[in-house]
Each structure stands twice: as C-alpha cells, then as structure tokens.
C-alpha cells in the first residue's frame, strides 16, 4: 500500500484534547474544512440547504432529520461531506494526461480524492497507461458493445454504493434485471447485511423498528458497536436530550469513544458560550472485540433469573405468549449457559453485566442501537438476534419508546435496498414483471464477496459501479485488485478520483456524475430525487449548487442512456422520459413497490414537510416472517479467543474520513494528529512485546491459508482498549482482511476481528 503524505514524527496527541464531542472543536473543524476548499462562499451558502425540507439531503449519514429542524441542520461531518463535494478543484483531461495509472495507484486515498471533481467521461488507454477523454455516446456505445457480447448476462456485475437516489437505484435494477442478471452486489453487503438477515428472520423485517420520536420516550438506550460522535453526529443531540431527561444511556464498546462520553451541542448558543457539556453515557462497558454475543446472553440469563426470583413479574408474559415463538427452547438454553463462558468470551465480569441487567429490569422502554461493531463480526447475525431476544423478553418491540435500531451508514443505503438493489429476485418481482412486461431473472446473483470470487474465476467480465470505491472498500486488497484486473471492462460512475479508477480491467471508463448537492436540470426543469433514512422516512432532495462541470450527467440519466444503448431503439421502456422527468420514474415505483402509492403526491412539502413513513410491520406487532411470530433465537457462545501472541484487530473510521474518502489526517476525538497508519494497542500488550508507544511495526494477519497478508510501517499508540484488542483505520488495513473470513449467514467481510501479530518494522 502507498504510504501517506505525512511525517510519522508528527503523530502526537493534539494540543488541546477535546474533552467532549461537538462544541467549539466541531465548529472550528467545520470552518477549517470549509475554508480549506476553494469556493468557500458557495460552500457556506450551500450548508444552509442541508437537510432543509426544500434543500438537499445531507450526503453524509442516514440519521433522520428531527421534526423541529433548525436553519442549520447539519453537523461537522456533514459539512465536510458537503464541502468535499462543492470544491472548485477539478480533475479533467489535462490533469489525467499528466499521470499514468501506475503513478496514480501509488498515491494515498487522501491525495486521490483531494485533487477535485471529475469533469469529463474518460477511457483508459492501456498503451499509454493513461485516461483520455471520450464522448458520452461513445462511452455508452462501448459499454453496450461489451455487455451485448457476453456469453451470459450473468457475466455482468452491477455494484451500488449507498449514496445513489431511489430513482437512480430503481432504474439501475430495472436495467440490470432486463439485461438478465441479479448480480447486484452493494455496499450493504459489507455494512448492515447482518442486521437485515438477523432482523428478517427474527421479526420479519430487515429494518429498524423505531422512529426518531421513540428516542424522546425511551427509559434506556443501548449504543453498542457504534461510534456516533464521528459517524452519526446528529444522533448525539437525541442522546443528549434523553440523557438530560434522565434516560439511562449504556455504551458498549471496547474503545472509550469520546462522543459517547460527553457532548456540547454546537447549535445551542448557551451551551457553546459556557462550553457546557452533557455526559452522554451513564454506563460504559468495554467488552473484548466480538464479546457482545456472550454479553447479551449474560443479560438474558440475568433477566430470566430475575423472573425465577419473582415469578410472573419480570417478563412480559402476554407479549411472549401472543407474539413470539421459541421461548421455551430459548429459556432452556440460556439457563444452561455458564458464567465461565459468558465472562471469558465477553471479557466482562458478572458484576459489570449485572449493573446493566439491573438498569434493563428497571426500564419499561428500551432501545438498542448498533452499527458496524456488531455487523462486521463472524457471529454478527447471532449477536443481533441475541440483542433481539433481550428486547423480546420484556416486550420491548412494537411499543413507543422501545425497539431495535440498526443505525445505517450511507445516506440512502436503506432506500437502495427498498428499490431492489439486492442480489436476489426482489420482493416485488411479479409486479416488476407485470409493469414492465418482461421476465426478470429468478436465479440468485453475486453479493460483494461472491462477485470478487466470480471475477477471480473469470466468470465476471464486465464490472460496473454506481458510485463507491469498490477496490478500496473491499477486503483482501491484493486478491480484489487481481479480480478486477481480469475483467474485460470496468466502469465507475463517480464524483471524485479514487483507488478503484487505478485498478483497471482491459478496458476501463470513468463516468463523472452530479453529486447530491448539485442542481439537476433537465428539459422538464429542476429535478428532485428521493432518499430513505435509517428510520424508513422517505423524503425529497433537491440540489442547489451549480454542477462542477457542464459535462456531468445525473445517475438516472446515465442509467437511461446506457439502457437505450444496450437495448436499442425498439426497447419499449420509456428511458428518455425517465431521464427527462423523474416524476415518471416515481410513478413506476408507485406501481411496483408497496408503500409508495401516490409517491409524487407525497412529496408535497406542505402536506408532508418531513417526508412520509414507509411503515414497519414489526413496529405494529405484525409478524411476516416464516413462523408468523417474533422468534427467539438460540445461539451458542462461540470461542473467539486467539492463539497466544495474536491480537484482535478492528478496523474503524477516523473523525476525518467518510469511508474510503479521507478528508484529513486527524482523528480529533482520539487525539491523533496527522497520521493514519497507526495501531491502537493496550500498553500492557505493547510492553509484553517489547514495544513502546510510537514504535513502528509491521502487521501480519493469520487465516490458516497460504497467503501472506501484511502491511508495513504502522506506528503503535498506547490506548484505552482491553488487553488482546487493537484498532486501526480502514481502508489502509484492508489488505489484512481475508475474503474467506465472513460473517455466518450474511457473508459480510469480518472487518472487526482480524487476528494479527506485530513485529518491529524492518528497515
Ligand atoms: N463522518 C462519517 N460518517 C459516516 C461514515 C464515515 O466514514 N464518516 N460512514 C458511514 C457508514 S457507510 C457507516 S456503515 C457508518 C459506520 O458507523 P460505525 O459503525 O460507528 O463505524 P466504525 O468506525 O466502523 O465504528 C465501529 C464502532 O464499533 C466499535 N467496535 C468494533 N468492534 C466491536 C465489537 O466487537 N463490539 C463492540 N461492542 N463494539 C465494537 C468500535 O470501537 C467503533 O466505535 O457510519 C456512516 N457515517
Ligand atoms: N476494513 C473495513 N472495510 C470496510 C468497512 C470497515 O469498517 N472496515 N466498512 C464497510 C462499509 S460499512 C461500507 S458502507 C463500504 C463503503 O464502500 P463504498 O460505498 O464503495 O465506498 P465509499 O468510500 O463510500 O465511496 C466513495 C466514492 O464514492 C464516490 N461518490 C461520492 N458521492 C457520489 C455520488 O453522489 N454519486 C456517485 N456515483 N459516486 C459518488 C466518490 O467517487 C468517492 O470516491 O466499505 C466497507 N469496507
Ligand atoms: Mo456502511
């Protein structure tokens, strides 16, 4: 991997460690990031449009908008996302003529994106190893030619990242399915897939059951495997309000994350003037990495014990009887589980677990929130089901102030799934067939990991990415690069230059598109798109900024023109109408997907200022899973201990990044400045290895196969993290993740428990 443009000697604690999340640090950082971009004024103005009813949806996270929006409804990290997109720096033909692809590949992810916005469609020339301009018509012609000469449509792979709007996603899946494949891997496969699988089986719906209002009523909110201070900063306002009114907030995280400790709301004047922070967590447990299954089982055991001591008073017997199945088997299993196992595998003492169990028993309404700390684990699906078991025991599902809250990542990742971005026939398959009069494919396609395997075996020949940064975001970088390079054609629809553009197939294209913040004007006027947040609210988003280049196309236009080029003039689908007026796409969505009836009418801001709610059957205590009941799930506690000498490594986001997009080299809340190639380790683990804070190490991962996976020259940082655990940044550490190490049931790469050893850096 290329090294960062940074001096390692500058890896220091920041001068003024932020004692609370948010506050002046957040404001100053926002200004710095806005100020660092050319076109500051434009950016400052555009921030006023973020998350306003008639503005654009923040391209950052999927946390919902509160009902009482302020005129500044954004956070520090949302501002970074907007500023990053609105930069005036450009990557056009002249820029790309300067560098061959081999040279670009040596650059860091930070450098690549920092160069600015892509302005022209570009084609790779293998003779010069450079990108050259190509017209849109020729680009679509080339892709169509490659697609139409495939022996089977199943040799085409259509990836999606979660910024894609509902309209673009619907058109994209329609195009792919008409072409004949369900090969729709998406970022969800690396993200909340475990949540979808777990919840679908347990409660019949793969989405969270709570709404933002539930946060106002909960007595207890558990935040497990999630770092909202960085990744969902607006969630801190809800947690702060809850904490102020006395709700208990329990954080469960191997790392002490500052955002979960204290918070100053940057939009509250008095708090800012007095620098008054609110403690967020009332309780903070630091389990070992992947210790959560054992922890939740321990909590269930204590709840069951409490019922034994006070029969009839502790469990919600009516709910259990009326709404659940598998209760008896579950209770038997929980009773048999041993405290030895629970303590050893969770890394917590029984007494620590009891404090949380006591809170749970004292609370009538409990919400459990989680993110990647649970989903990207080998037993992530079972862990989430164990958390659901805990909720079910006391009827904490389908009542106000209670429920399951997987906090989604990308701003429209949930909507893309709703629109049919899934590697199986979508739930609305029959309607799709009827409305568009074709036979959609019935066989399963590839998810992310399967797509990489398929390419490696020569079975995937055209790789098309609607957004994202596939090469950098996926595991096993070396194997993944080799897989992409076997393709006849790789295509990336992107806003910024990134690693994936440097890992080319025999033929390769970059298609530059409009970003969320930009005006999307067609012959029919300014177009709006829609997105769905983490709590199933759908609302419109209208870009306001002038496009970064006159040559950009919108994502919907790209799909429509590609479809026409591929299917020819006789294809009856009105692709041109769709590209001209997205309202016509929404009419089709309304006809195909339940919940979207009268879609266009529901975008009326007077009637639906906050968008409309798609509903959630589990929230209504209607169970549409196989057994037609909410299911208790029995799971053993797995032995996750590693051989002596190995550490568990979790790969995380710093405060200055959005996935593979690196905005800067600081991680303010973890006191890291100007460094990304670092590894957080417990001081005793360092001492045991003869290492001291600041030493350089090479890191190797271990997966019982012949492949050597190593990264070199990482600096160790002594940190408050349990013994045997370590942490560092994604995507720099992705070369260490094995493609074969995936979550049971969801096939999600295990990015949060990589077995590693350290060695003093060579040379
Ligand atoms: N600014 C910003 N916002 C973002 C993103 C971004 O990169 N930047 N990314 C977006 C996306 S796509 C996503 S999916 C979300 C990600 O949001 P998060 O899930 O918060 O992201 P991570 O940085 O992966 O952090 C995982 C957290 O889980 C903890 N953890 C790791 N392993 C375990 C474990 O075994 N048990 C427990 N209990 N905790 C564990 C880590 O210490 C860390 O605090 O954020 C979204 N929002
Ligand atoms: N080791 C490790 N690996 C991980 C994770 C981890 O925690 N650890 N997290 C995983 C998770 S949760 C996720 S979601 C994935 C993320 O995987 P992806 O979604 O594939 O990656 P991103 O970094 O979000 O994509 C960034 C690129 O998107 C493009 N882009 C930005 N805005 C737009 C837009 O509006 N339209 C289009 N077409 N392109 C745009 C830009 O060119 C930018 O370079 O990574 C996964 N990989
Ligand atoms: Mo994600």
Ligand 1 atom nearest the C-alpha of 192 is: 14
Ligand 1 atom nearest the C-alpha of 228 is: 20
Q: Is the pLDDT of residue 41 over 80?
A: no
CA of 407 to the centre of ligand 3 (A): 10
> What pTM did the predictor assign?
0.95
CA of 145 to the centre of ligand 3 (A): 33
> Tell me: the pLDDT tens digits for 555-577?
999 999 999 999 999 999 999 99
Q: Is the pLDDT of residue 295 over 80?
A: yes
Nearest CA to ligand 2 atom 23: 660
Show the ligand 2 pocket: residues with CB < 6 angstroms.
Answer: 113, 161-163, 187, 190-191, 372, 376, 409-410, 466-470, 473, 493-496, 498, 513, 515-516, 555, 651, 659-661, 730, 733-734, 737, 751
Distance CA 222, CA 220 (A): 7
- Best residue for ligand 2 mutational test, from 163, 549, 728, 741 (most atoms within 8 Å of Cβ): 163
pLDDT band at 47 (very low <50, low <70, confident <90, very high): low
Q: Is the pLDDT of residue 26 over 90?
A: no
> Tell me: the pLDDT tens digits for 203-242?
999 999 999 999 999 999 999 999 999 999 889 989 999 9
Identify the CA nearest to 64 among candidates 234, 221, 215, 267: 234
**Which pLDDT belongs to residue 1?**
40
Q: Is the pLDDT of residue 11 over 90?
A: no
Identify the CA nearest to 403 among candidates 171, 72, 556, 630: 630
The number of beta carbons lying within 10 Å of the beta carbon of residue 326 is 18
CA of 188 to the centre of ligand 3 (A): 6
Q: Which residues, 6+ apart, have CB-to-CB distance to 153 below 8 Å?
A: 147, 179, 180, 181, 441
pLDDT band at 460 (very low <50, low <70, confident <90, very high): very high
- Looking at all shown ligands, the one closest to residue 250's CA atom is 1
Instruction: Name the class of domain 193-406.
Output: alpha beta
**Which pLDDT belongs to residue 298?**
98
- Looking at all shown ligands, the one closest to residue 372's CA atom is 1
**Which pLDDT belongs to residue 72?**
52
- Looking at all shown ligands, the one closest to residue 749's CA atom is 2
CA of 538 to the centre of ligand 1 (A): 24
Ligand 2 atom nearest the C-alpha of 516 is: 35
Distance CA 467, CA 51 (A): 21
- Best residue for ligand 1 mutational test, from 50, 193, 225 (most atoms within 8 Å of Cβ): 225
> Tell me: the pLDDT tens digits for 603-638?
998 888 889 999 999 999 999 998 999 999 999 999
- Best residue for ligand 1 mutational test, from 345, 653, 669 (most atoms within 8 Å of Cβ): 653
Nearest CA to ligand 1 atom 14: 409
Q: Is the pLDDT of residue 87 over 60?
A: yes
Identify the CA nearest to 161 among candidates 138, 144, 184: 184
**Which pLDDT belongs to residue 657?**
95
Mean pLDDT highest for which of 66-80, 415-429, 599-613? Answer: 415-429
- Looking at all shown ligands, the one closest to residue 732's CA atom is 2
Nearest CA to ligand 1 atom 31: 373
Considering only 63-67, 288-292, 556-560, which range has the smallest mean pLDDT?
Answer: 63-67
Ligand 2 atom nearest the C-alpha of 515 is: 35
**Which pLDDT belongs to residue 264?**
72
Ligand 2 atom nearest the C-alpha of 159 is: 20
**Which pLDDT belongs to residue 28?**
72
Contact 693/716 with Cβ under 8 angstroms? yes
Q: Is the pLDDT of residue 281 over 50?
A: yes
Q: Is the pLDDT of residue 23 over 80?
A: no
Identify the CA nearest to 513 among candidates 552, 564, 470, 558: 552
Which is more confidently placed, 372 or 37? 372
**Which pLDDT belongs to residue 202?**
98
Please state the domain extents for the chain.
141-191+412-599, 193-406, 647-760
Adjacent-strand bridge partners of 627: none
Could you tell me the fold of the domain covering 647-760?
A: Barwin-like endoglucanases (2.40.40)
**Which pLDDT belongs to residue 262?**
81
Reported in sequence order, the residue ranges of 73-199 that DSSP labels E, i.e. its strands, are 90-91, 117-118, 122-125, 130-133, 156-160
CA of 187 to the centre of ligand 3 (A): 6
- Looking at all shown ligands, the one closest to residue 227's CA atom is 1
Ligand 2 atom nearest the C-alpha of 496 is: 42
**Which pLDDT belongs to residue 76?**
79
Considering only 62-66, 119-123, 297-301, 442-446, which range has the smallest mean pLDDT?
Answer: 62-66
**Averaged confidence pLDDT in the chain:** 92
pLDDT band at 54 (very low <50, low <70, confident <90, very high): confident
Q: Which residues, 6+ apart, have CB-to-CB distance to 426 below 8 Å?
A: 173, 420, 432
CA of 412 to the centre of ligand 2 (A): 12
Residues comprising the chain, all counted: 763
- Looking at all shown ligands, the one closest to residue 295's CA atom is 1
Ligand 2 atom nearest the C-alpha of 474 is: 47
CA of 162 to the centre of ligand 2 (A): 8
Show the ligand 1 pocket: residues with CB < 6 angstroms.
Answer: 60-61, 77, 191, 224-227, 230-232, 252-255, 257, 287, 289-290, 292, 371-373, 377, 409-410, 650, 652-653, 657-659, 752
- Looking at all shown ligands, the one closest to residue 468's CA atom is 2
Q: Is the pLDDT of residue 357 over 90?
A: yes
Structure tokens at 626: 């196989």
DSSP codes of every residue in 15-56: SS--SSEEHHHHHHHHHHHHHTSS-HHHHHHHHTTBT-TTSB
**CA distances from residue 408 to 98, 405, 521, 536, 690 in whole angstroms, order as listed:** 39, 9, 30, 11, 40
CA of 50 to the centre of ligand 2 (A): 20
Instruction: Name the class of domain 141-191+412-599.
Output: alpha beta
CB contact burial 260-293 (16+ within 10 A = b; e otherwise): bbbbbbbbbeebbeeeebbebbeebbbbbbbbbb
> Tell me: the pLDDT tens digits for 585-598?
999 999 999 999 99
Q: Is the pLDDT of residue 335 over 60?
A: yes
């Amino acid at each position: 991997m290329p090294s960062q443009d940074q001096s390692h000697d500058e890896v220091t604690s920041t001068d003024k460690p932020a004692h609370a999340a948010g506050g002046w640090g957040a404001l100053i950082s926002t200004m710095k990031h806005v100020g660092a971009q050319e076109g500051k004024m434009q950016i400052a103005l555009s921030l006023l449009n973020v998350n306003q009813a008639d503005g654009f949806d923040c391209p950052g996270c999927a946390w919902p908008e509160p009902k009482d929006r302020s005129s500044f409804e954004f956070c520090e990290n949302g501002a970074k996302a907007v500023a990053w997109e609105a930069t005036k720096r450009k990557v056009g033909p002249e820029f790309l003529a300067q560098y061959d692809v081999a040279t670009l590949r040596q650059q860091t992810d930070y450098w690549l994106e920092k160069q600015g916005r892509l302005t022209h469609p570009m084609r790779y020339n293998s003779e010069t190893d450079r990108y050259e301009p190509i017209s849109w018509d020729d680009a679509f012609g080339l892709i169509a030619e490659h697609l139409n000469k495939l022996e089977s449509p199943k040799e085409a792979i259509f990836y999606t990242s979660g910024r894609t709007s509902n309209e673009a996603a619907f058109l994209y899946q329609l195009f792919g399915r008409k072409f004949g494949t369900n090969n729709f891997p998406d970022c969800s496969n690396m993200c909340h897939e475990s949540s979808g699988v777990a919840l679908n089986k347990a409660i019949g719906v793969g989405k969270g059951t709570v709404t933002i209002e539930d946060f106002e009523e909960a007595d207890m909110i558990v935040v497990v495997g999630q770092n909202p201070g960085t990744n969902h900063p607006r969630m801190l306002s809800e947690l702060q309000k809850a904490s102020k009114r006395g709700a208990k907030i329990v954080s469960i995280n191997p790392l002490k994350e500052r955002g979960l400790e204290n918070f100053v709301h940057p939009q509250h004047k008095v708090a800012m003037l007095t620098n008054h922070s609110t403690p967020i967590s009332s309780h903070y447990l630091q389990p070992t990495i992947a210790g959560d299954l054992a922890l939740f089982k321990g909590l269930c055991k204590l709840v069951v014990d409490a019922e034994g001591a006070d029969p009839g008073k502790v469990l919600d017997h009516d709910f259990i009887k009326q709404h659940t199945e598998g209760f008896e088997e579950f209770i038997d299993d929980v009773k048999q589980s041993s405290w030895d196992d629970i303590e050893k595998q969770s890394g917590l003492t029984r007494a620590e677990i009891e404090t949380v169990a006591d809170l749970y028993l004292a609370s009538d309404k409990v919400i459990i929130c989680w993110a990647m700390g649970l989903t990207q684990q080998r037993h992530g699906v079972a862990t989430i089901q164990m958390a659901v078991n805990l909720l079910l025991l006391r009827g904490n599902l389908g009542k106000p102030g209670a429920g399951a809250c997987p906090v989604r990542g990308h701003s429209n990742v949930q909507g893309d799934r709703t629109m049919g971005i899934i590697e199986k026939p979508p739930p609305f398959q029959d309607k799709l067939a009827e409305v568009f009069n074709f036979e959609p494919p019935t066989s399963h396609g590839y998810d992310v990991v399967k797509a990489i395997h398929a390419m490696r075996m020569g079975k995937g020949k055209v790789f098309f990415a609607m957004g994202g940064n596939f090469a950098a975001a996926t595991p096993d970088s070396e194997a993944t690069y080799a897989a992409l390079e076997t393709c006849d054609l790789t295509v990336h629809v992107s806003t910024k230059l990134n690693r994936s553009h440097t890992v080319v197939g025999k033929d390769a294209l970059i298609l530059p598109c409009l970003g969320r913040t930009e005006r999307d004007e067609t012959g029919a006027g300014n177009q709006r798109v829609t997105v769905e947040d983490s709590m199933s609210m759908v609302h419109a988003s209208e870009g306001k900024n002038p496009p970064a280049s006159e040559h950009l196309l919108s994502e919907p236009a790209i799909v429509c023109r590609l479809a026409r080029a591929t299917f020819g003039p006789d294809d009856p689908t009105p692709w041109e109408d769709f590209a001209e007026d997205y309202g016509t796409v929404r009419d089709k969505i309304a006809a195909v997907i339940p919940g979207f009836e009268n879609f266009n009418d529901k975008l009326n801001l007077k009637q639906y200022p906050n968008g409309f709610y798609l509903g959630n059957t589990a929230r209504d205590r209607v169970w549409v899973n196989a057994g037609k009941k909410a299911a208790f799930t029995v799971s053993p506690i797995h032995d996750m201990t590693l051989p002596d000498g190995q550490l568990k490594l979790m790969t995380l986001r710093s405060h200055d990044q959005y996935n593979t997009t690196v905005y800067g080299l600081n991680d303010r809340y973890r006191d890291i400045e100007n460094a990304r190639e670092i590894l957080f380790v417990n001081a005793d683990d360092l001492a045991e290895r003869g290492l001291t804070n600041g030493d350089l190490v090479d890191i190797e991962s271990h997966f019982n196969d012949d492949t050597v996976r190593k990264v070199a020259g990482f600096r160790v940082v002594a940190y408050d993290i349990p013994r045997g655990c370590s942490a560092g940044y994604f995507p720099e550490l992705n070369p260490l993740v094995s493609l074969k190490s995936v979550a049971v049931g969801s096939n999600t790469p295990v990015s949060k428990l990589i077995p590693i050893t350290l060695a003093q850096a060579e040379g």
